[in-house]
Amino acid sequence: HVQLVESGGGSVQVGGSLRLSCVASGDTIGRYCMGWFRQIPDKEREGVAGIESDGSTSYADSVKGRFTITQDKANDTVYLQINDPTPDDTAMYYCAADRATRCVLIPTTAKAHSFTYWGQGTQVTVS
């Protein structure tokens, strides 16, 4: 099964930019729907963006126009470009993968509990 490792988090100023990476090993991302989720303490993990193997994408309304999810199948890596962040974007960001879920349904019906494989998370702090 696939293993996921996120990186790229850190502190960023309002209006800046940041790119998160999720590197997969043990399997190819082309077999999975890939998603980015985020979570703050005492809140449910929420879907941010998803990408299907064919490149179809979906976004939460709160990030549309500011976040972009892309994939590099040759290197089994999924990215989340964060532009123009606000303090409300401060959270732990997680990469997730699943073979049965449709990532274009993030964040409506494809919730965190639908995903089988998770990375350890990377913290993003916006100030």
Give the DSSP per-residue string, 37-79: EEE-TTS--EEEEEE-TTS-EEE-TTTTTTEEEEEEGGGTEEE
Residue 54 has pLDDT above 90, yes or no: yes
CA distance 19 to 104: 21
Average predicted confidence (pLDDT) for the chain: 96
What pLDDT does 92 receive?
Answer: 98
What pLDDT does 4 receive?
Answer: 98
Residue 108 has pLDDT above 90, yes or no: no
Within 10 angstroms of residue 111's Cβ, the number of other Cβ atoms is: 16
How much of the chain exceeds pLDDT 70, in percent? 100
CA distance 62 to 104: 16
Name 70's Cβ contacts closer than 8 Å, sequence gap at least 6: 51, 78, 79, 81
- DSSP class of residue 84 equals S
What pLDDT does 110 receive?
Answer: 86
What pLDDT does 109 receive?
Answer: 85
